[in-house]
Amino acid sequence: MSIRNAIRHGSKTLRPWFNTKTGTSLDFRIKAANGCYIYDKNNQPIMDFTSGLMVTNLGHNNQYINNHMKATIKSGLTYFPPSVLTDSRELLSEKLINISPYTNGKVFYTSGGADANEAAIYFAKHHFKDTPTKSRILRFDKSFHGGSTYISSYLGGDARRNEKLNHYSFELNTDIMMPNPSMSDNGKSSIEKIEHLIHNEHESIAAILIEGSSGTAGCYVYPPGYYTKLETIAKTHNILVIVDEVMSGFGRTGKMFGFEHSNGNPDIITMAKGITNGCVPMGAAIISEKISNDFKEDIVNNGLTYSGHPLACAAANACLDLYDNKLLNHVQSNSKNIKRRLNYIKISYPELVKDVRGIGQLYCIEFNDNNVYYIHKALLKKGVYTFFRDNNLYIAPPLVISERELLITLEKLDQVCFNIWNAINYQ
Ligand SMILES: Cc1ncc(COP(=O)(O)O)c(C=O)c1O
């Protein structure tokens, strides 16, 4: 195939998570982006109603971030090994510690969210290195913590992998999935099951991994007191708490981090996505003093070539200037509008909508049957891009979306739901 044809038909790129049967609606080409919009090849604006994959919290093409990145390019320092200090990386670590609950924590950088979580697991397991039986990681049913493969470093022939051997020996049985909480019983049944599990098996559990606010699983909101109870149960049994803020961090829920809704005090916080607004890939794990103390003597046998890349640090330093209280208040105000309209949609189209859930600007509509695909497709025809998974359609626009843009797009969503509900009932 000629190069021109290959480009036109997109035949040489294996798209991640791409479903050839349902993914055909994604066969439009994006040529540019600005603010809350992406632009197709005819220069038609499409509202990016899920911030890509809940990444571009500050909108596309943000000039303040671009200028920071340009200054770094101009300095010539666009790469150096991560074990060497740079001012920009130190500044970023300082800023991240300042927004964390720790005074003497440290920051470990990665290239994205999956490896930030893997690093967190490494730190947790290293913390219990003298108790190798304490090796399991509890996580929630349907949760998503990354799409890479955990064994990449074990596959190598590098002698340092021997130190990691026991890191890969933990069980990943389905019995260690924690059930998501339900609002209907204020999370009681979920917490009881988790408490029972931990009570019986705490000697084999190193950490619980929980999202700051549930995302891909279906935006299950933690009922009041739920997270606090979980943290207390874990700490009582000498189990570490790792909070994954990859999706829920950086203002997405109306607070800087999701766990702040419960005044949480986890041992490790992982992040990615909004940390750079997606301009350059970056992930990070902020570790508490308790965990960082483990490395006063021990070597950090972990790391990536691009950990804390200079361009990513430049973008992240700019982003952290922009995540301020004004923006967080704006998200909280937008959240009320989203919640009101989604609840209206749920009540109006019960045959179509099973449930709506969320917080801040991280919501989802769970549809009955496979209707989500038709809704997604119809929205695209109306110039609205959304991400969907299973039967859930996500509503997670850039945090900077104006109230007017938000209301107009919610109106389009309502119209699309009405049309499909009408077709179901009166076909
Ligand atoms: C909660 C959560 N953790 C981790 C990840 C993985 O991040 P990445 O794709 O940057 O590896 C994601 C991605 O969507 C996520 O939502």
Choose which residue among 137, 273, 277 to substitute to test ligand 1 binding: the one with the highest number of ligand atoms within 8 A of its C-beta: 273
Angle at 185 between CA 180 and CA 190, to 5 degrees: 30
Q: Is the pLDDT of residue 173 over 80?
A: no
Q: Provide the residue ranges of all domains of the chain, joining segments of one domain with +.
A: 63-322, 326-360
Give the model's confidence band at 426: pLDDT under 50 very low, under 70 low, under 90 confident, else very high: confident
Give the model's confidence band at 165: pLDDT under 50 very low, under 70 low, under 90 confident, else very high: low
Choose which residue among 54, 209, 246 to substitute to test ligand 1 binding: the one with the highest number of ligand atoms within 8 A of its C-beta: 246
- By residue count, the chain amounts to 427
- Beta bridge mates, 207: 137, 240
pLDDT over 90, % of the chain: 77
Out of 161-175, 235-249, 397-411, pick the least confident: 161-175
Q: For 129-178, give the DSSP string.
A: TT-TT--EEEEETT----SS-TTHHHHS--TTHHHHGGGG-S---GGGEE
1-30 burial code (b ≥16 CB/10 A, e <16): eeeeeeeeeeeeeeeeeeeeeeeeeeeeee
Supply the pLDDT for residue 424: 85
Structure tokens of 380? 């695209």
51 close to ligand 1 (CB < 6 Angstrom): no
What angle in degrees, to the nearest 10, is found between the helix axes of 188-201 and 226-236? 10
Tell the residue nearest (CA) to atom 6 of ligand 1: 146
Task: In whole angstroms, give the CA distance from residue 277 to residue 317.
Answer: 11
114 close to ligand 1 (CB < 6 Angstrom): yes
Query: Residue 272 class from Cβ within 10 Å (0-12 exposed, 13-18 middle, 19+ buried)?
Result: buried
Regarding predicted confidence, which is higher, 312 or 26? 312
Expressed in angstroms and rounded, the spacing between residue 282 Cα and the centre of ligand 1 is 11
Task: In whole angstroms, give the CA distance from residue 76 to residue 407.
Answer: 44
144 close to ligand 1 (CB < 6 Angstrom): yes
pLDDT digits (tens, 9 = 90+) for 343-384: 999 999 999 999 999 999 999 999 998 899 999 999 999 999
The CATH fold assigned to 63-322 is Aspartate Aminotransferase; domain 2 (3.40.640)
**What amino acid occupies position 399?**
L
Nearest to 197 by CA among 218, 178, 213, 216: 178
139 close to ligand 1 (CB < 6 Angstrom): no
Whole-model pTM?
0.94
